[in-house]
Amino acid sequence: MKILVTGGAGFIASHVVDAYVASGHEVIVMDNFSRGSKKNLNPRAQFYQVDIEDRAAIDEVFAKERPEIINHHAAQMDVRRGVREPIFDARVNILGSLNLIEAAIANGVKRFVYAATAGAGYGEPKRMPVPEDYSMNPITPYGVSKHTVEHYLFTFQAIYGMDYVVLRYGNVYGPRQSSQGEAGVFAIFSEQMLAGIQPVIYGDGTKVRDYVYIDDVARANVAALTKGTGEIFNISGGVATTDDEVFFYVRDLLGKKDIQPRYVAKRPGEIDRILLSVEKARQLLGWEPEVPFAEGARRTVSYFQRVAQGEAADAETAIEVTARVGNA
């Protein structure tokens, strides 16, 4: 199949691209490099530097490539920026997504796979693990904008018949994760400890998150190509993990046992606890997490150690980008 992946130079989507390419699919990547990196690009994927707010450039890519499936990961993903700039957040995450959805419908795309958010969407749940039919109560503009697109996909399937699958991610971690976002706690802790900087934990260390390793997320995106039509799935590890536990895992793996965290006030918009049910994904998507937290943590910390030592991890070599749209 011919698949267009937006945000394909970013942490999560670059691994999805790799999985699609490894599965024998033809892949086109669109990214504006606002958060992504050239070194993440798969050399076997066709690349276009395009912003999802640029409808004309999107139409040009669709007209040239005629993708059969859209996998949409490009987003404004900074929760704090969304609080400061809710109009920008909505413009990228809602209007940008509508540009893609409309282009997909106009070009006869068969399926739209959408990367959504779980924790920022469900808000502070009153029961856990949280199933997909739990009420969505986002407490940040980012959560609102990401969830809104789910409604558009449902509506446009009813009107135009375009299939879709929504994947609501837990806290994704693994190689290539960026330390520039508040969700990149593995990257943040690893880079800071390796640099001899005392890491900061927002809150008292007891906040609970549900982590999922990047390879498991990539497998879910492969499964979503043929399964789960019209459904929403939680994609996560299904295990409650505190901030302190992540800190001490990273610290011990790095052998930095003399480093202690510095606790500061929790940031606005952060939830205290989230744990997701992945039973629906097991039943309907044929997917379940396979990489245990301890193993995922080992792989992730090892990656950041190699980066700090200047060694090239697999597929991390910088790639010369030649395909351009809109600024050739």
- From first CA to last CA, the distance across the chain in angstroms is 27
* DSSP states of 90-110: HIIIIIHHHHHHHHHHHTT-S
d(CA 102, CA 139): 28
Residue 296, helix vs strand vs coil: helix
Residues whose CB is less than 8 angstroms from the CB of residue 26 and which lie 6 or more positions away in sequence, other chains included: 1, 2, 3
CATH superfamily of this structure's domain 2-308: NAD(P)-binding Rossmann-like Domain (3.40.50.720)
Give whole-number Cα distances, 10 to 111, 118, 196, 231, 237, in Å. Answer: 22, 19, 27, 25, 21
Contact indicator for 81, 137 with CB cutoff of 8 Å: no
- For the chain, give every domain's residue range: 2-308
3-state secondary structure of 309: coil
Helix (H, G, I), strand (E, B) or coil at 223: helix
Structure-block tokens of residue 87: 């109009």
> What one-character-per-residue DSSP string does 33-58 give?
SSS--GGG--TTSEEEE--TT-HHHH
Per the CB < 8 A criterion, the answer to whether 158 and 151 are in contact is: no
> Would you state the pLDDT for residue 139?
86
List active site positions: 142
Per-residue pLDDT of the chain (328 residues), as tens digits, is 999 999 999 999 999 999 999 999 999 999 999 989 999 999 999 999 999 999 999 999 999 999 999 999 999 988 889 999 999 999 999 999 999 999 999 999 999 999 999 988 898 888 999 999 999 989 899 999 999 999 999 999 999 999 999 999 999 999 999 887 656 899 999 999 999 999 999 999 999 999 999 999 999 999 999 999 999 999 999 999 999 999 999 999 999 999 999 999 988 778 899 999 999 999 999 999 999 999 999 999 999 999 999 854 443 433 323 232 322 2
Give me the helix-helix angle, 141-160 and 96-106, nearest 10°: 10
Cα separations (Å) of 223 from 20, 130, 131, 192?
10, 22, 19, 36
Q: Which residues contact 240 (CB under 8 A, 6 or more apart)?
A: 128, 208, 209, 210, 273, 275
